[in-house]
Chain A
Amino acid sequence: MNSAEQPLLKLENITKRFKNLTAVNGVNLEVSSGEKLVIIGPSGSGKSTLLRAINLLEEIEEGAIIFEGRQVGYVMRAGKRHLDHPRAISTLRAEIGMVFQHFHLFPHMTVLGNVMEGPLTVQRKPADEARTIATDMLAKVGLSDKRDVFPATLSGGQKQRVAIARALAMRPKLMLFDEPTSALDPELVGEVFDTIHTLADEGMTMIIVTHHMGFARELADRVIFMESGNFLAQGTPEELFSAGQDNERIKGFLNRLL
């Protein structure tokens, strides 16, 4: 198999349990390079847990994560699964960008400092180079004029765009968005979507969890409907959102959102 055909990310039988609650239940997924995948589903269905499992913020009980053809995150030792060495995990995370619902900007660093931090500390780039990268990323998200202020002075939409720039500064091969607009006032949602659209147009591979069906319809190559830790249905936006949707659960969910 040559690398063009191989999926960027492959999940095999991912299972995550919290005590006796199964948050993700044996999920299989392939994401090819450049694909835009949107995951929808009711609250508590395991969407965040799945995203967090991909970049190893959550340790899974079963299954395998295969990134660029390599199994990552876990090693077998004496017949038992263990988390891989912390360095190896950090290296993987550096290649996967993640954007959180609540931004989690570093409040004690300026906007530029936030975006520089990855290249500077993780990739150990010289300060000038890190600054150049960060400046470019801030230009990309349209916040060049905010580079020297602290996050506390920004609006929610601006904060989320800085968070996106911070992730992009690491030059990730895959971007994970976990409800990037759910904490925003409605009038600020658009600017964040526009930023994500720009990325999409540049060919970034991304997995987005969102409750905005309009956005999902516009952006997604494929939409997955998740419920109780399982993929209940998947397909193109047209297939999933069509009026002829015959799955009662999905229809109910969509009707409640509209």
Chain B
Amino acid sequence: MALLFLWALSGACLAATDYDQLFRQSSDLMAQGDLGGALELLGTVPPPAAGEEAGAYVSSRMQAARILAAQKETDRAVAACREVLKLFPDNSEARNFVTALEQQRKPGWHTVLSDTLRFLPSLAKGALMTLLLVFCTMLVSPLGGLLIALGRISTVRPISGFCWFIIWFFRGTPLLLQLFFIYYGLPSLGITLAPLTAAVIGLGLNYSAYLGEIIRGAIQSIDHGQMEAAKAIGMTYGQAMRRVIVPQTYKRLMPPVGNEFIALIKDTALVSTIAMVELMRAADQLFNTYFNITALALAAVIYLVLTTIFTFIFEKIEYRAGIYEQR
């Protein structure tokens, strides 16, 4: 009710473009102790359209910033100043106020700690989504990569040509573009995908192409005598691949595949562009709300933790995969 009233009131004021009155009203509200109402009222001033007088907008944001600062809502006060700076980067009033506020804030350990506790839940949610994307891609792409690798070394020209094309296309265009095409482009062909599906398809295809080349290299690096020995005991090409050649590639595959999957953890950040809230997007949202770099620093720490764990796991797997080489 109060909201509706204020909105109607401000509408009337704005129609008259009598901002002085608006400010007076907000001061009155403040004097009555209704700070929320005052802020609400100030928030109704829209950003100036091109060529329009900017004074009222700047004054209203700065007034809001002062109220917030008085309330010890430093983050939100800074945010109000930044809104001004976004449109008028040279505005010295806003800039000075931000500097003053930040000096006043002097981030001690307790602020960082409280920010961390405040941000962690949404960052953790984002990190879980990142992990989900990584695991889905890790499930899909080795299979896709193996198929592409076997196709590439096939002597059937159409098959090897097709796999060459897949690698050529997906390695030769940005992942971001592929994601856009799948999520925003396919609907125009009548295929609409959920963001998660689109993300997994995009990441899966891209990483299949990269892994395809890595797996092909590993298969071709296995001594030719192995294939001959397998054939000499009567194995078919498929049996030889499955039982003899491919298992020997595992150890050689681990270092480059580990690299790819670590790159993947970071590449998942790109799906924030197709309406998915993963770790990067969660951090970005927090940063844009609070203008607080702790959110970004925390995201960096979480990424580092994830990549470190992966590095460790892949080193272990590599050791296990090559255990037969030990004398």
| Chain A interface (Cβ < 8 Å from any Cβ of B) | 55, 57, 86-87, 90-91, 93-98, 100, 102, 104-109, 117-118, 121-123, 150-153, 163, 166-167, 170
Q: Is the CB of B234 within 8 A of A98?
A: no
Answer yes or no: B103 CB below 8 A from chain A CBs.
Answer: no
Residue numbers in A under 8 Å from B233 (CB-CB):
93-94, 97, 117-118, 122, 166-167, 170
Residue numbers in A under 8 Å from B228 (CB-CB):
57, 100, 104
Residue numbers in A under 8 Å from B243 (CB-CB):
117, 121
Closest residue on chain B to residue A153 by CB atoms:
B327
How close is A35's CB to chain B, nearest CB, in angstroms?
Answer: 21
CA distance A166 to B228 in the complex (A): 14
Q: Is the CB of B237 within 8 A of A104?
A: no
Residue numbers in B under 8 Å from A105 (CB-CB):
229
Residue numbers in A under 8 Å from B229 (CB-CB):
100, 104-106, 163
Beyond the given A90-B231, A121-B239, A153-B327, please list 12 additional residue pairs across the A-B interface where CB-CB is below 8 A.
A57-B228, A57-B231, A91-B234, A93-B231, A100-B229, A104-B225, A104-B226, A104-B229, A108-B248, A117-B233, A123-B234, A167-B233
Closest residue on chain B to residue A52 by CB atoms:
B228
CA distance A55 to B243 in the complex (A): 21
Q: With A100-B228, A104-B229, A107-B248 in contact, is A94–B234 under 8 Å at CB?
A: yes
Residue numbers in A under 8 Å from B324 (CB-CB):
107-109, 150-152
How close is A91's CB to chain B, nearest CB, in angstroms?
Answer: 7
CB contact between B223 and one of A91, A104, A152 (< 8 Å): that residue: A104
Q: Looking at chain B's contact residues, is the secondary structure mostly helix, strand, loop, or mixed?
A: helix
Interface residues of B, count at CB 8 A: 22
Residue numbers in B under 8 Å from A95 (CB-CB):
234
Closest residue on chain B to residue A95 by CB atoms:
B234
Q: Is the CB of B327 within 8 A of A121?
A: no
How close is A67's CB to chain B, nearest CB, in angstroms?
Answer: 14
Answer yes or no: B15 CB below 8 A from chain A CBs.
Answer: no
Write out, one digit per residue, whether chain B residues 223-250 have a CB within 8 A of any chain A CB (1) or not (0). 1011011111111110100011001100
Answer yes or no: B173 CB below 8 A from chain A CBs.
Answer: no
Residue numbers in B under 8 Å from A166 (CB-CB):
233
How close is B303's CB to chain A, nearest CB, in angstroms?
Answer: 35
| Chain B interface (Cβ < 8 Å from any Cβ of A) | 223, 225-226, 228-237, 239, 243-244, 247-248, 324-327
- Which of A55, A121, A152 has the most chain B CB within a 10 Å cutoff? A121
CA distance A237 to B233 in the complex (A): 31
How close is A50's CB to chain B, nearest CB, in angstroms?
Answer: 15
Query: What are 13 A-B contacts defined by CB distance under 8 Å?
Result: A86-B236, A91-B234, A104-B223, A104-B225, A118-B233, A121-B239, A122-B233, A122-B234, A122-B239, A150-B324, A150-B326, A152-B327, A170-B234
Residue numbers in B under 8 Å from A167 (CB-CB):
232-233
Which 4 A-B pairs give the minimum distances between C-beta atoms? A94-B234, A104-B229, A104-B225, A98-B232
Closest residue on chain B to residue A118 by CB atoms:
B233
CA distance A153 to B228 in the complex (A): 22
Residue numbers in B under 8 Å from A57 (CB-CB):
228, 231-232
Residue numbers in A under 8 Å from B239 (CB-CB):
121-122
Q: Is the CB of A106 within 8 A of B327?
A: no
CA distance A170 to B243 in the complex (A): 17
- Which of B231, B244, B324 has the most chain A CB within a 10 Å cutoff? B324
Residue numbers in B under 8 Å from A121 (CB-CB):
235, 239, 243
Closest residue on chain A to residue B229 by CB atoms:
A104
How close is A105's CB to chain B, nearest CB, in angstroms?
Answer: 8
How close is A239's CB to chain B, nearest CB, in angstroms?
Answer: 32
Residue numbers in B under 8 Å from A94 (CB-CB):
233-234
How close is B248's CB to chain A, nearest CB, in angstroms?
Answer: 5
Residue numbers in B under 8 Å from A170 (CB-CB):
233-234
